[in-house]
Amino acid sequence: MSDRSPSEIARETFKLLAVKRLAPTPDNYQVLYHEVAGTLAPAHFPSEHLRKIAGVLPAKNPGQQKHLGLLNSAINQRSWEGVQNALIGFAGFGMVSSGNTEPSPLTPLSPAAGPLATPEFLEQIARLIENALPALGNDDLRFIEQARELVNLLRQPAVDLIRMKTMLGNFSHRLSFTAEDQSEIRATLLHLLHMVFENIAELCLDDRWLKGQIDALIDASTPPLTLRRLDDVQRRLKDVIFKQAEAKGRAYEAQAQMQQLLATFVDRLSLMTESSSAYHGTIEECARQIEQAKTLEELGPVLQNAIAATRHMASETMRSRDDLQAMRAKTESAEAEISKLHHELDRVSAQARHDPLTGALNRRGLDEAIQREISTARRKGTHLCLALLDIDNFKKLNDDLGHEAGDAALTHLANVTRECMRPQDTLARYGGEEFVILLPDTELEHGIATLTRLQRELTKQFFLRENMKVLITFSAGVAQLTPDETAIDGIKRADQAMYIAKRTGKNRVLGG
């Protein structure tokens, strides 16, 4: 019957199933099909029995779950090789010691993997413990003692695996508590620092330069903490502290000078009062002598005394006026010097809200700008767009050209962006190679068009590095904030759109 078509063989097979009153199962159909076709039937594949076995196998960890799925797939495909591989892999994750339902850490993952408790593997565990200890502090002496005992055991020539397993379990248990304590201590200390900073800021509302310094400290102590952020803030704060000390010294000098000037002014007033009193007495005496004079000869000396007293009074008045004008000039000069120092402190403090590399706003400055723009948009009933852009292949640029080139590329992007922005737009460095652009009074389609124009401008203004042109591209997401949406929600939507732009080819701008 080999010359029959498959459809004819199939019809004959169904007829034979009915004649023999067999259930139309795949196995029965396969056997009769090969009988009608005159071909050799394949070996029987016990699918139902294998599915029952797979149904009772445990799936207590991700490894077991994965290989159980592979086993079911192999059964469906009637693949003995797939069943064998799945069972071998499952056994590696399911081998347990007697009386224990958890896989042993010393059990090999597969028969071909070999034993894991080699000297090299144990040395890696020892180094891992030693490297982790500094991050966990020195408060728990018992924990440190356990760690040292375990490290010494791991480095012995012949390791007692049973004892090592017990010590590893005890160490892991105590490690969980120590790590949790250190995490809580760190979080509590940061919270206390924020409380101190915020309290100082509330007490110094009039000192804008000090408020900027406090804002920088709060920003630096806000997770996630990085050494680079701390170093940048430390450098800026050193400048602020230097200016603060200089202003404090000048203020003390000005205060002492003002006290001296005030004392001189009071002395001068006292002398002027004495001179006025003496002059007044002299004039009264002259008036009395004039009334009593009988001849012109008697008036001559009286007039001379009056003229001399008047000249002396005029001289004293002129000298007092000159002294007072000199004191006024010194006072104005001191005030101008203090005002100049305060302006300089305000300028340095404002830098605490800017990224020192690109000159764009940092996260602290961005938070303030977003809240300001949201308040303005809601008050005026206008639109506000927020764009989040990320430089494409920035890690490769750093690896190929160096970190200095990466920093220069970030600065180049910021400069080109500022050239394309409107005066009312705001640029901020969100972190790493990410930037945020605030676009007030802008709808979503216009925001997307603005970022697209910026992309075209970057293709015209190449980034030059060692006489080599480097094309910088970015992927961006743009979100138009709704009336009841927060800044965090807007950034999240823009970030999701930017992620899709990255995944769909990069160098794209998508709305969120």
Q: What is the DSSP secondary structure assignment for residue 507, as one 8-state letter? A: S
- The amino acid sitting at 175 is L
pLDDT of 51: 84
Q: Which of 107-111, 129-133, 278-282, 330-334 comes out lowest in average pLDDT? A: 107-111
pLDDT surpasses 60 at 97 = no
Place of tokens 């791991």: 154
Name 479's bridge partners: 386
pLDDT of 498: 92
- The amino acid sitting at 177 is F
Average pLDDT in the chain:
77
In 3D space, the residue among 25, 408, 276, 380 whose CA is nearest the CA of residue 33 turns out to be 25
Q: Which of 108-122, 172-186, 244-258, 325-339 comes out lowest in average pLDDT? A: 108-122
pLDDT of 110: 40
Number of CB atoms found within 10 A of residue 285's CB: 14
pLDDT of 213: 65
Element (DSSP H or E) covering residue 427:
strand 426-431
Alpha helices in 204-295, H assignment, sequence order: 208-220, 227-292
pLDDT surpasses 80 at 228 = no
Write phi, then psi, for 221 (nearest 5 degrees). Answer: -95, 15
Query: How sure is the predictor about 113, in pLDDT bands with cuts at 50, 70 and 90?
Result: very low
pLDDT of 41: 63
Alpha helices in 42-112, H assignment, sequence order: 47-56, 62-76, 80-94
Buried b (16+ CB within 10 A) or exposed e, 468-500: eebebebbbbbbbbeeebebeebbbbbbebbbe
CA dist list (Å): 8 to 25, 193, 204, 349: 19, 86, 96, 91
224 cis-preceded (ω within 30 degrees of 0):
yes
Number of CB atoms found within 10 A of residue 449's CB: 14
Condensed to tens digits (0 to 9), the pLDDT of residues 420-470 reads: 888 899 999 988 899 999 999 999 999 999 999 999 999 888 888 777 888
Is residue 143 helix, strand or coil?
A: helix
Q: What is the DSSP secondary structure assignment for residue 58, as one 8-state letter? A: -
Pull the structure tokens for residue 27.
């196995």
Write phi, then psi, for 370 (nearest 5 degrees). Answer: -65, -45
Number of CB atoms found within 10 A of residue 257's CB: 15
**Could you give the angle at which helices 363-380 and 487-503 cross, rounded to 10 degrees?**
110
Query: What is the share, in percent, of the chain residues with pLDDT greater than 70?
Result: 74
Burial class for 82, CB neighbours closer than 10 Å (0-12, 13-18, 19+): middle
Q: Any catalytic annotation for residue 246? A: no
Query: How sure is the predictor about 387, in pLDDT bands with cuts at 50, 70 and 90?
Result: very high
Which range among 9-23, 249-263, 305-319, 438-452 has the greatest average pLDDT? 438-452
CB-based contacts of 499, cutoff 8 Å, min separation 6: 477
Say how many residues make up the chain: 512
Region of 9 please: left (phi>0), alpha (psi -120 to 50) or beta.
alpha
Condensed to tens digits (0 to 9), the pLDDT of residues 116-171 reads: 568 888 888 888 888 888 877 777 777 788 888 888 888 888 878 888 888 888 88
What is the C-alpha to C-alpha distance for residues 265 and 324, in angstroms, rounded to an integer? 7
pLDDT of 389: 94
Q: Residue 364 in contact with residue 430, Cβ under 8 Å?
A: no
pLDDT of 112: 39
Q: Name the more confident of 209 and 132.
A: 132
pLDDT of 318: 77
The single residue of 149, 202, 433, 457 carrying the catalytic annotation is 433
Condensed to tens digits (0 to 9), the pLDDT of residues 234-269 reads: 666 666 666 667 666 666 676 676 667 667 766 666
Query: How sure is the predictor about 491, in pLDDT bands with cuts at 50, 70 and 90?
Result: very high
Q: What is the mean pLDDT of residues 378-404?
A: 90
What is the C-alpha to C-alpha distance for residues 217 and 215, in angstroms, rounded to an integer? 5
- The amino acid sitting at 297 is E
What is the C-alpha to C-alpha distance for residues 69 and 282, in angstroms, rounded to an integer? 121
Pull the structure tokens for residue 51.
């599915």
Q: 0.75 cut: is pTM over it?
A: no
Measured distance between the N- and C-terminal CA atoms of the chain, rounded to whole angstroms:
65
- Give the strand pairing for 434-440 and 384-391: antiparallel
CB-based contacts of 455, cutoff 8 Å, min separation 6: 473, 474, 507, 509
Query: How sure is the predictor about 108, in pLDDT bands with cuts at 50, 70 and 90?
Result: very low
